[in-house]
Structure 1
């Protein structure tokens, strides 16, 4: 029997570990902050995957392992943001812009995970773009429970920032706005993933491309908040 780490397959775990170590190095003084945000995403994702397991198994919606494609789809954009941080953080404006973008991207993938895993436990979902009722598990479908779970996930993800409250405070950045960036970035990311899911159902893209662009969109929303503030 293969042993999985937080639902990741052995190969996916190796890829994730390599990315994690690189993030610690590339993140300079905030390497551990970036790393723990990604690790917390994995922990939350593993927990939420097993919520309603019997219900999901009965309807063939349960997925207990994630492979390399999942790691790349969810981790590539946050990793690229940290890579940009490594080269651009000497500029204070770009430094904090990239921090906001990173927070939004990770909040987005966390919110999307909660939305999909908990959303299927709700009643009949609707397709976000058409507002038509569809069967459970349809890409692009949403429920109020799923959307609410996504907001909760973004909030839980943002709790990782608390140990660094002194660091951000010394830079003149209110934790309130970091929480707002995380929650709005998370909500926007999961809703954008649902929009892309509509196109998945029509043969354009797949869940991996949707996850990737959802993380990008979450970072754009968080970055927009940063630009409005500074």
Structure 2
């Protein structure tokens, strides 16, 4: 069984994660789930871009596994669980902050996906920590095109907050703040992911841990920015 960019085990894992996110998301659960499906659809699109070229340099990865699902979905799931328990706090601000954290987490993994899949078609990457030129496909390497694509990926996810006509962010000014925080957090997430990529070559972590902590970093950054602004 295969679905978009997921292999069989990846699909099963995505179903489990999706069900949990839907449950713990309470009233925002449907939005959370749709956002994850939206990310999956966007992933399929950017994976297909430049397919022939990626194959020619041995950088084309058609299907993702359960490990990818865990790396990209674990922090959004944690955020949905946090949202579930925040409902009993009586603090709407806390709930909105966690909502922003969830959106930013997804924006971060989307930014990383766009950055890696589109950036691979740019010139020779620059490693953020060492500032040395590296071969294409090396973890931690970034290009101007990749960074721009990453920002666009984060935008496509973050902009969905404007589609909510009811609930936590139905207020237009609040939606703008939530969007901005999620966008910045998502972009910071992919930058942090690239920084962690440098240490992968040193034997510290791998692309899955980098994805997870990149998502978490961007999410936490977005929540802190939101708390400072509100």
Normalising by the smaller structure, the TM-score range is over 0.9
TM-score normalised by the chain length of structure 1: 0.95
- After TM superposition, the score normalised by the length of structure 2 is 0.95
Asked if 1:13 corresponds to 2:11, the answer is yes
**CA offsets 1:178-202 (integer angstroms, 9 cap, x no match):** 2211221121011100000000011
Q: Is the 8 A contact 2:101 2:182 kept in 1?
A: no
> Are the aligned partners of 1:123 and 1:143 in contact in 2 as well (CA < 8 Å)?
yes
Residue in 1 aligned with 2:100?
100
Q: Which runs of 5 or more structure 2 residues have no equivalent in the other structure?
A: none
Which of the numbers 19, 22, 25 marks the counterpart of 2:23? 25
1:123-202 aligned within 5 A: 123-170=123-170, 174-202=174-202
Displacement of 1:23 in angstroms is 1.2
Offset at residue 158 of structure 1 (A): 1.9
* 2:161–2:169 Cα contact (<8 Å) kept: no
2:214 matched residue in structure 1:
214
SS in 2 for 1:37: helix
Please report how far the alpha carbon of residue 87 of structure 1 lies from its aligned counterpart in structure 2 after TM superposition: 1.4
Assess if the C-alpha contact under 8 Å between 1:33 and 1:161 holds in 2: no
C-alpha displacement of 1:103: 1.1
Counterpart in the other structure of 2:56: 58
Q: Distance in 2 between matches of 1:107 and 1:146?
A: 15
* Alignment RMSD: 1.4
Corresponding residue pairs, total? 228
Cα distance in 2, alignment partners of residues 45 and 5 from structure 1:
12
User: C-alpha distance in 1, partners of 2:154/2:101?
Assistant: 14
- 2:164/2:170 contact within 8 Å kept: no
Match of 2:112 in 1: 112
